[in-house]
Every structure is written in C-alpha cells, then in structure tokens.
Amino acid sequence: MLKYQNQTRLLVAVDCIIFGFDGNKLKILLIKRGLEPKKDHWSLMGGFVQPAESTDEAAKRVLKQLTGLDGVYLEQFYTFSAKDRDPIERTISVAYFALIDIHQYEKQISEEYHAEWFQLDQIPELIFDHSQMVAMAREKLRYKAALHPLLFELLPVKFTLPLLQSLFEDVYETNFDKGNFSRKIISTGLLIKQKDKDKTNSKKGAFYYKLDKKHYKKNFHAVLKFIPNLNNHLEVEK
Amino acid sequence: MLKYQNQTRLLVAVDCIIFGFDGNKLKILLIKRGLEPKKDHWSLMGGFVQPAESTDEAAKRVLKQLTGLDGVYLEQFYTFSAKDRDPIERTISVAYFALIDIHQYEKQISEEYHAEWFQLDQIPELIFDHSQMVAMAREKLRYKAALHPLLFELLPVKFTLPLLQSLFEDVYETNFDKGNFSRKIISTGLLIKQKDKDKTNSKKGAFYYKLDKKHYKKNFHAVLKFIPNLNNHLEVEK
DNA sequence: TCAAAAGTGTTAGTTCTACACCCATGT
DNA sequence: ACATGGGTGTAGAACTAACACTTTTGA
C-alpha cells in the first residue's frame, strides 16, 4: 500500500470522563494509573487507539473495560494536542464524556482498576492535562444539557421529578423552583407518568416517570429554556 | 527518551472549514487538492500536524497559507477518525472552522492554490469525508452562534444592522422581523452606533455599528434567545 | 395530629411576535 | 412626490419567577 512520505506519525489516545449521579451529587469515575509514567496517580480512563478502530470504538472499548457497561451515552468533545502534554512521548488525546446510570455500574469489575467516584468539588490532582479535560467536559455537559434532554442518561429507567430536579441543580450549581421546574419538564411531553411512587424520601411519595422513547429523539431539543438564566451558568470558553 | 512500546502511531491532520460572508450569502472556501490521491478534486484546506506544533498551531498555519490572514477566529469542533477515511493510509483529522471577513481575504495569495468560494447549497463533491465535515461545521456554527456573538467575525469592522440581519438569516435559513431583530441586538449592549451611514442599499441609509470590544468578551453569552424558535433551526446531531 | 415533602394555583412582571406606522432621501 | 429601505411603536399573547397554598401519609 502506498503511504504518505516524510510525515511524522503520532500516538493517538482516547480519554473518558465518566459522569454518574448517585441521587445527590454528580460524580466522575477516576482510576489509579497502571503504567509508568505517573503510575498510581489519579487519572481518567484512557487508552491508545488501535489500528483497527476509530476513536469512538476505542472510547467504547475503554469504557467497557472500566465499567462493564455497553450502550452507554458517549460523546466526543475535544481533542487535546499540546506537544508536551505527555512527558514520555508526543500523544494527542481525543476526549469523550460518558453518562452512565451509576447503579448499573458493577463495582466489582472496576476494583481491579482501583476506580473510585469523586464529587466534582473533590477531584484530586490528575496526571497530564486531565484536570483541564474534566473542566471542559463539565462545561460541555452544561451546554449540551441546556439544549438537549441528556441528563436522563444519568438516571435509572424510572425516576421521580424531585430526583431529576436535584440532578439539574447539581449540574448547574443553582436551585430551581420546584413548581416551575416540574411544569417545564412536563410540558416537553418527554415524560410518561407511572402509577407507582417512590416513598424513600417522603411519606407522600413522588410519582415515578419514564422517558417517552418515541418522543425522545424527536424532541431532542425540547429542553431549551430549561435553565433559568442560562447565561449565568455557562462559562466563557476561551 | 523513553517511548511507549508496541503502540501504533498514526498520521494526524487538520482540516479547516473557512466561512466567509459576501454581504448576501454565507460561503466556504475550497481548494483543488494538490497531491495524490484525488489530485485536482475539491477539498478542504488541510495538512499534516508537524512534530513541533499542536493541532491549533497546525490549523493556524494552514489558514495562513491559504488566506494570508492571521488572528482569525478559529475553533476546533470535531475529530474524524474512521479507519478508512483516507484510502492511502490511516489518518485521523482534527477539524476546525474559521470565520473570516471575506473582504480582507487576498484573492491573489490564494490563486496559487486554486481556491474558490462556494455557497453552501452549491458545494461540489469533496474528497474523503470532507462533505460530512462541512455539514457538521455548519451545524456547530449554528449552535455556537445561537449562544455567542460569533457572527460578527464574518463582518467588516463597521457594519449595518440590515447586513447583520441578512447574515443571521442566511446562517439560520429563515427570516427575522427587522424590528424585533434590531431591538434584541441593540439590547445586548454589544454594539456602538456610529455617526455615519451606509447608503449603498437605500436612500435613507443605514447607520453603521461597531462591536464594543470591551463588552464583547464580557457579554459573550448575550445572544441566547436571539433566534426565534431556535429549536426549529438546530438539527439533531446524532 | 403534625411534620415534611410532593405537587398545584395564582399573579405580577417581563419578553416575544406580529404588524402597523413613521422617517429620510435620491431620483 | 413618491418609492424604497431604515427604523420605531404598540397591543396581545406567551412565558417567567416567585411564592402561597393544598395534598398525602408515616410516625
């Protein structure tokens, strides 16, 4: 096969920011890096892109390795390429964020990786430019979730409105009026009310809802104007 | 220097979608590719990332080569990595979009590249996955411009509101009410009214405005809610 | 019966949209 | 004087934010 002449080939990696929501706080999953350099330092889950796979496939593979989960929401958001970002050898990294239902995640599987969930305000020092990746992933999540019904991916199949609200509140670091929030969510037509209630948080109990998968794709933009004063919650990027 | 063992290195390229606005239509700049394969086919401007530069730097370099322009608005938006996207050799490409004032662009400089402006509805067949890149760049531009005062980058320093409106209309393929449009734009506080008018389009003439550079960065989000029914104009991405 | 969380109602204020109208001026 | 594009005014609809109120039920 013909090749391009006189060009330098580079290592290409993927790194995943894996978001989960424990019902109270948004968290990300970190691991203790298994190889030198920076062995045993906290790191995102990542790996080199293999010759036979796209970066999407690489990210899926990596995610499967760490969480055991398939079919997870995964989105490429930025490629990091500073020439000294990896001290050992020039590597460019395509970064992804993933949204998983934290309860489906099998702790056992990950224990061999020494994985741990961290709240966003308690993230330890990370290797390389991984802190910057996390910050950017978080920002992108806010952007995207303001326009698209994305955060449902972090919840179980059945969830209550108060739970959904507390997720939004944690993502946007603000509080919403429950009345206004529930009206807006309901008005998207994305949710189907269930007959049963979750009574773990109150005597009265809160009705469960499910996503209406039919309307889900169709109304993928329906969340615009969800966030009061969105402007205050999206940071300037550059 | 130590290296990572047993990993495949890949070619990494950048490709640029260069947007310009001629006062009437949004256009992109394409070139006839200079090397095999697909020599003389229409293509985005791109190039391989060199060992000493980040992808941002590579994109800047490529842009300078084609347009002669420095300090142009340039934004990375997606990395394309399908393993057969380049038939010669596996190459991943980091795609950027650029916004330039078409009138500052020196036609002479580009003639050696056989560059040409194309309206978005008249784009010829492009090599590799470049058509997909263009489609995605356009979509990202709509997203970003709905939230940030970005489109000013496509205009001269002094511009009129009708001109700005026609740019928005072309980007979003819709028509805005001029009264509502001008009130919303003015209310951002981003524009400074000039004393002189542009009389090329009417007897009365339309006042020129300039961007208020001070407020520009500060109010970078101020454009939210600019696009009536934004939902109808942003496509589902995936 | 009472505390606590879920959920509904209400209202004042704001913003949006559509469209009518006025303005400036070269021909 | 009038046609043309620039620019302003405005009424009704729609949406928002804030907060008071009602409901449910386990303890």
Average of pLDDT values for A215-224? 58
Report how many Cβ contacts below 8 Å link chain A to chain B.
113
Does A4 contact B at CB distance below 8 Å?
yes
Residue of A nearest to B47 (CA): A7
Residue of B nearest to A82 (CA): B54
Task: Report the nucleotide nearest the CA of residue A204, measured to C1'.
Answer: D24
Q: Per CATH, the architecture of A11-140 is what?
A: Alpha-Beta Complex (3.90)
Give the whole-angstrom CA distance, residue B58 versus residue B48: 8
Mean pLDDT by 10 residues, chain B (238 residues): 87 98 95 85 96 97 91 97 95 98 79 87 97 96 86 96 95 90 90 95 96 72 55 42
Does B90 contact A at CB distance below 8 Å?
yes
pLDDT at A237: 30
Give yes or no for residue A238 having a pLDDT over 50.
no
Report chain A's mean pLDDT, rounded to a whole number. Answer: 88
The string of pLDDT tens digits covering residues A158-196 is 999 999 999 999 998 888 999 999 998 998 889 999 999
Q: Cβ A9–B4 below 8 Å, yes or no?
A: no
Does A189 contact B at CB distance below 8 Å?
no
Q: Please tell me the distance in Å from B110's CA to the nearest CA on chain A.
A: 24
Contact B171, B142 (CB under 8 A): yes
**Which residues of chain A are in CATH 3.90.79.10 domains?**
11-140
Residue of A nearest to B55 (CA): A81
Lowest-confidence range among A64-68, A128-132, A211-215? A211-215
Does B9 contact A at CB distance below 8 Å?
yes
pLDDT at A84: 95
pLDDT at B233: 53
Task: Round and report the angstrom distance from CA (B38) to C1' (C16).
Answer: 51
Q: Which of A140, A135, A158, A163 is nearest to A150 (CA)?
A: A140
Q: Which top CATH class is B11-144?
A: alpha beta
Q: What is the CATH number of domain A151-233?
A: 1.10.10.10
Residues within 7 Å (Cβ) of strand D: A 177, 179-180, 184, 199, 202-205, 225, 228-229; B 160-162, 178-180, 182, 197, 201-207
- Which 3-state string (H, E, C) describes chain A? CCCCCCCCCEEEEEEEEEEEECCCCEEEEEEECCCCCCCCCEECEEEECCCCCCHHHHHHHHHHHHHCCCCCEEEEEEEECCCCCCCCCCEEEEEEEEECCHHHCCHHHHHCCCEEEEEHHHCCCCCCCHHHHHHHHHHHHHHHHHHCCCHHHHCCCCEEHHHHHHHHHHHHCCCCCHHHHHHHHHHCCCEEEEEEEECCCCCCCEEEEEECHHHHHHCCCCCCCCCCCHHHHCCCCC
pLDDT at B235: 42
Does B187 contact A at CB distance below 8 Å?
no
Query: Which residues numbered 206-225 in A keep a CB inside 8 Å of some CB on B?
Result: 217, 220-222, 224
Q: How many CB atoms sit inside 10 A of residue A211's CB?
A: 17
Instruction: Report, in ranges, which bases of strand D sit under 7 Å from a protein C-beta.
Output: 3-10, 15-20, 23-26
Give yes or no for residue A68 having a pLDDT over 60.
yes
pLDDT at B26: 97
pLDDT band at A236 (very low <50, low <70, confident <90, very high): very low
Does A108 contact B at CB distance below 8 Å?
no
**Percent of chain A topping pLDDT 70:** 88
Q: Please tell me the distance in Å from A204's CA to the nearest CA on chain B.
A: 37
**Which residues of chain A are in CATH 1.10.10.10 domains?**
151-233
The string of pLDDT tens digits covering residues A89-141 is 999 999 999 999 998 887 766 677 789 999 999 999 999 999 999 999 999 99
Chosen for mutation from B35, B50, B54 (greatest number of chain A CBs closer than 10 Å) is B54
pLDDT at A122: 97
Angstrom distances, CA of residue A164 to CA of A92, A178, A182, A211: 36, 11, 9, 12
For chain B, state the CA radius of gyration.
20
Task: Round and report the angstrom distance from CA (A204) to C1' (D26).
Answer: 8
pLDDT band at A36 (very low <50, low <70, confident <90, very high): confident
Average of pLDDT values for A201-224? 78
Nearest to A82 among B8, B54, B231 (CB): B54
Angstrom distances, CA of residue B137 to CA of A191, A237, B76, B93: 32, 18, 10, 14
Residues of B in contact with A189 (CB under 8 A): none
